[in-house]
């Protein structure tokens, strides 16, 4: 069995069945394991591709939640049954209470019938209530496992919405106990067809008889006449106020220039500023920087949790060392080049797409077997490049948002010291 560190990936299998086992330590936490089968866009094709305790099978039984217990959950993925639109199977865990800091040691093990057994162990976690453990994704003609270990705050709902699942809000259940049920629930007629008895009128002195009909009509006419006079006066006053504005707007409109001809948007075909070798060199540099950024953001997330605990335990004014810690983290996060590497990943992704098209064009006009084999290998390499760049771009976009949230958290600590 091969153990993968966070961010690493390895070949799992080329086909067949894969059993994914998720185990977490003994404790009071109630962990719910879930799976999202997503497309290239990172979203489920439909809500039926979201597996959890209330929906245990995907269409065609391509994925099954085979077992779930107090300390474990097992998924079975039939890779050959998955449609081509499903590119990744993302495995995650959520908590109703507590955080994954108390679930360090959770393991995900992927066991393929035809391939190597791979494992990822959670060695660090923050104050999140949802955690993406790993994903199985298409890579050329095979499937690979990537260890992710990325946390989400808020639990299952924001995680599901991130992958495009439409979460329905549960309607509140009214209190049906005792007198509350008697007061709130409407009376339903019996099924036998008999109508319920009418409620008897309340006993008491009868109301006084109404006044003469003529007097009532006269009072109505007087009220309506007074209302008509008020409306007329209000309309006259409004006209005197609005008329000058209308004339001014008309004068201003007459001075406006004639509208210009609509600008026709021109299509700009995508381009790549680097050679093929430079694209792969930049891709490798991107991968190394991505791991460093991921580790730095995780470290800052852990430090924020510790600093928050220190803030809770402070008595009196904040110490200078406490303030320096928060300022240092804010400065370090601001220097983190997440946006620059995200832009680099997106541009490299365009280059990978152009490379694939160029190879496919060359394949269409090629008849020599040796050259065809070489081009097929290059096409697989380019597709793998594009897939990895798509995943890295998505992760960097999340890390950019995570960095902003961390900076906000440290700023809140500083503001709390000034109160």
The verdict on residue 249 lying in a domain is: no
- Residue 353: which domain range? 276-418
Among 137, 162, 187, give the residue marking a domain's end. Answer: 162
At residue 247, does pLDDT exceed 80? no
Q: Which helix (H) or strand (E) element contains residue 77?
A: strand 72-78
Q: What is the arithmetic mean of pLDDT over 272-283?
A: 92
Name the 3-class secondary structure at 371. Answer: helix
The verdict on residue 121 lying in a domain is: yes
Same domain membership, residue 150 and residue 10: yes
Strand order in the sheet with 9-13: 9-13, 142-152, 130-139, 88-95, 31-38, 50-51
Phi/psi for 305 (5° steps) reads: -65, -40
The candidate with the shortest Cα–Cα distance to 166, out of 44, 63, 32, 42, is 44
**In angstroms, what CA-CA distances link 153 with 119, 192, 283?**
24, 54, 30
Instruction: Encode pLDDT of 366-414 as tens digits.
Output: 778 888 888 888 888 888 888 889 889 989 999 999 999 999 999 998 9
Phi/psi for 388 (5° steps) reads: -65, -40
Those residues with Cβ within 8 angstroms of residue 20's Cβ, 6 or more apart along the chain or in another chain: 35, 74, 75, 76, 77, 91, 108, 109, 110, 111, 136
Residue pair 286/355 in contact (Cβ under 8 Å)? The answer is no
The verdict on residue 53 lying in a domain is: yes
At residue 340, does pLDDT exceed 90? yes
Buried b (16+ CB within 10 A) or exposed e, 148-178: bbbbbeebbeebbebbbbeeeeeeeeeeeee
What does the chain come to in residues? 419
Number of domains composing the chain? 2
Distance CA 154, CA 127 (A): 10
Paired tokens of 22: 């998720």
Answer with the residue of higher pLDDT: 21 or 99.
21
DSSP, residue by residue, 146-210: EEEEEEETT-HHHHHHHTT--PPPPPPPPP-SHHHHHHHSPP---TTSPPPPPPPPPPSPPPPPP
Query: Residue 120 is part of a domain; what is its CATH number?
Result: 2.60.60.30
Those residues with Cβ within 8 angstroms of residue 148's Cβ, 6 or more apart along the chain or in another chain: 6, 7, 132, 133, 134, 135
Name the 3-class secondary structure at 251. Answer: helix
Distance CA 78, CA 60 (A): 10
DSSP, residue by residue, 207-228: PPPP--HHHHHHHHHHHHHHHH
Instruction: Give the pLDDT of residue 196.
Output: 40
Same domain membership, residue 158 and residue 33: yes
The verdict on residue 329 lying in a domain is: yes
Specify the pTM: 0.47
Among 162, 188, 217, give the residue marking a domain's end. Answer: 162
At residue 212, does pLDDT exceed 50? no
DSSP, residue by residue, 257-326: PPPPPPPPPPP-----SS-HHHHHHHHHHHHHHHHHHHHHHHHHHHHHHHHHHHHHH--SSPPHHHHHHH
Instruction: Encode pLDDT of 23-68 as tens digits.
Output: 988 776 788 999 999 998 889 999 999 999 889 999 999 999 988 7
HSE-up of residue 232 (Cα within 13 Å, Cβ side): 6
Those residues with Cβ within 8 angstroms of residue 350's Cβ, 6 or more apart along the chain or in another chain: 270, 271, 272
The verdict on residue 310 lying in a domain is: yes
Please give the share of the chain, as a percent, with pLDDT higher than 90.
39
**Residue 99 CB neighbour total at 10 angstroms:** 17
Instruction: Give the pLDDT of residue 197.
Output: 39
* DSSP state letter for 62: S
Beta bridge partners of 119: 3, 109
Phi/psi for 141 (5° steps) reads: -95, 5
Instruction: Encode pLDDT of 156-211 as tens digits.
Output: 888 888 888 987 654 444 443 443 333 333 333 333 333 343 433 444 433 444 43
Name the 3-class secondary structure at 344. Answer: helix
Distance CA 86, CA 336 (A): 33
Those residues with Cβ within 8 angstroms of residue 180's Cβ, 6 or more apart along the chain or in another chain: 174
The verdict on residue 317 lying in a domain is: yes
* DSSP state letter for 85: T
Same domain membership, residue 152 and residue 296: no
The verdict on residue 119 lying in a domain is: yes
Among 135, 162, 189, give the residue marking a domain's end. Answer: 162
The candidate with the shortest Cα–Cα distance to 22, out of 84, 66, 86, 79, is 66
The verdict on residue 332 lying in a domain is: yes
């Amino acid at each position: 069995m091969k153990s993968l560190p966070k961010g690493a990936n390895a070949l799992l299998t080329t086909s067949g069945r894969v059993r994914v086992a998720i185990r977490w330590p003994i404790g009071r936490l109630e962990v719910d394991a879930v799976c999202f089968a997503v497309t290239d866009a990172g979203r489920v094709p439909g809500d039926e591709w979201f597996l959890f305790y209330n929906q245990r099978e995907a269409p065609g039984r391509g994925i099954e939640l085979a077992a779930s217990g107090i300390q474990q959950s097992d998924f079975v993925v039939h890779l050959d049954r998955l449609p081509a639109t499903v590119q990744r199977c993302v495995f995650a865990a959520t908590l109703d209470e507590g955080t994954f800091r108390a679930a360090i040691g959770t393991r995900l093990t992927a066991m393929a019938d035809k391939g190597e057994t791979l494992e990822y162990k959670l060695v660090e976690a923050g104050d999140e209530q949802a955690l993406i453990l790993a994903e199985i994704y298409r890579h050329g003609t095979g499937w690979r496992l990537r260890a992710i270990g990325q946390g989400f705050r808020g639990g299952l709902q924001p995680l599901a919405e991130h992958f495009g699942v439409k979460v329905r809000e549960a309607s509140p259940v009214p209190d049906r106990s005792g007198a509350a049920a008697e007061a709130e629930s409407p009376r339903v007629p019996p099924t036998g067809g008999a109508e319920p008895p009418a409620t008897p009128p309340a006993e008491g002195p009868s109301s006084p008889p109404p006044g003469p009909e003529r007097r009532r009509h006269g009072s109505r006419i007087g009220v309506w006449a007074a209302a008509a006079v008020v409306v007329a006066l209000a309309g006259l006053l409004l006209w005197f106020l609005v008329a000058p504005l209308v004339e001014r707007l008309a004068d201003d409109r007459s001075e406006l220039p004639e509208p210009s001809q609509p600008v026709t948007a021109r299509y700009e075909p995508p381009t790549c500023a680097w050679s093929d070798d430079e694209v792969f060199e930049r891709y490798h540099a991107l991968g190394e920087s991505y791991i460093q950024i991921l580790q730095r953001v995780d470290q800052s997330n852990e430090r924020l949790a510790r600093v928050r605990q220190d803030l809770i335990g402070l008595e009196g004014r904040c110490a200078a060392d406490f303030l320096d810690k928060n300022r240092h983290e804010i400065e370090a996060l601001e220097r983190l080049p997440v946006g620059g590497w995200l832009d680099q990943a997106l541009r490299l992704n365009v280059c990978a797409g152009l490379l694939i098209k160029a190879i496919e064009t060359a394949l269409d006009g090629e008849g020599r077997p040796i050259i065809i084999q070489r081009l097929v290998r290059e096409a697989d390499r380019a597709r793998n490049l594009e897939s990895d760049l798509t995943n890295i771009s998505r992760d960097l976009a999340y890390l950019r948002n995570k960095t902003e949230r961390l900076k906000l958290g440290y700023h809140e600590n500083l503001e709390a010291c000034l109160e």
